Amino acid sequence: MSLTRRDFARQSAITGAGVALIGSVGALATAPGALASTDTETAGDDADLYESDRPASDRHDADRHGGAVGYGPLLPDPKGILALPAGFSYRVITHSGKTKLESGEFTPSNHDGTATFDGPRGTTLLVNNHELKGPRAGWKYPVPLTEGLVYDPAASGGCTVVEVRPGGAVAEWVGIAGTSTNCAGGSTPWGTWLTCEENSDRAGENGMTKDHGYVFEVDPSDRRANRDPRPLKFFGRYDHEAVVIDPKRGHAYLTEDDSSPNGLFFRWKPPHGFTHGRGRFRTLADDAGVLQAPKCYDSGGRYVDDLSRATKIGTVYGVDWIDVPDRDGKAVPVREQFEAGEVTRARKLEGMWWSDGGAYIVSSYAREESPVQHDGQVWFYDPKRRTLTLKVLLGVNPDPAEDGAFDGPDNITVSPYGGLVIAEDGEGVSHLFGATDSGRTYPIARNDLNIGTEDEPEFSEFTGVTFSPDGKTLYANIQVPGIMVAVKGPWKRQKRR
Task: Check pLDDT > 90 for residue 47.
Answer: no
With cut-offs at 50, 70 and 90, classify the pLDDT of residue 257: very high
What's the pLDDT score for residue 314? 93
Q: How far is CA 423 from the centre of its chain?
A: 8
With cut-offs at 50, 70 and 90, classify the pLDDT of residue 56: very low
The C-alpha atoms of residue 391 and residue 405 are separated, in whole angstroms, by 17
The C-alpha atoms of residue 193 and residue 81 are separated, in whole angstroms, by 28
**What does the CA dihedral 298, 300, 302, 307 come to, rounded to 10 degrees?**
-20
Please compute the mean of the pLDDT values over residues 278-290 and round it to a whole number: 97
**2, 350, 362 from 384: Cα distances, Å:** 12, 23, 20
Strand ranges in 149-204 using DSSP code E only, listed in sequence order: 157-164, 170-179, 186-187, 193-196
Please compute the mean of the pLDDT values over residues 202-214 and round it to a whole number: 97
Specify the range with the lowest mean pLDDT, choosing from 25-39, 131-145, 212-226, 249-263.
25-39
Specify the range with the lowest mean pLDDT, choosing from 23-27, 314-318, 477-481.
23-27
Q: Give the dihedral sign, CA 386/307/14/354.
A: positive
Please compute the mean of the pLDDT values over residues 390-414 and round it to a whole number: 89
What's the pLDDT score for residue 95? 98
226 torsion bin: left (phi>0), alpha (psi -120 to 50), beta (else): alpha
Let me know the angle formed at the C-alpha of 422 by 351 and 44, rounded to the nearest 5 degrees.
130
With cut-offs at 50, 70 and 90, classify the pLDDT of residue 494: low
Specify the range with the lowest mean pLDDT, choosing from 43-57, 220-234, 269-283.
43-57
Beta-carbon contacts of 308 under 8 Å, excluding residues fewer than 6 positions away, are 346, 347, 363, 366, 370, 371, 372, 373, 374, 377
The overall average pLDDT reported for the chain is: 87
With cut-offs at 50, 70 and 90, classify the pLDDT of residue 439: low
Task: Check pLDDT > 70 for residue 60.
Answer: no
Specify the range with the lowest mean pLDDT, choosing from 169-183, 297-311, 371-385, 483-497.
483-497
Task: Check pLDDT > 90 for residue 26.
Answer: no
Task: Check pLDDT > 90 for residue 34.
Answer: no
Task: Check pLDDT > 50 for residue 63.
Answer: no
Task: Check pLDDT > 50 for residue 242.
Answer: yes
The one-letter amino acid at 383: P
Specify the range with the lowest mean pLDDT, choosing from 14-23, 238-247, 252-261, 328-337.
14-23
pLDDT by residue (tens digit) across 441-468?
A: 899 999 999 999 999 999 999 999 999 9
Domains and CATH numbers, the chain: 81-488 (2.120.10.30)
Give the residue with greater pLDDT, 435 vs 7: 435
pLDDT by residue (tens digit) across 157-187?
A: 999 999 999 999 999 999 999 999 999 999 9
Q: Is 280 helix (H, G, I), strand (E, B) or coil?
A: helix
What's the pLDDT score for residue 328? 97
pLDDT by residue (tens digit) across 97-123?
A: 999 999 999 999 999 999 999 999 999
**114, 127, 219, 360 from 194: Cα distances, Å:** 10, 10, 9, 17
Question: Per DSSP, what are the bridge partners of residue 91?
Answer: 486
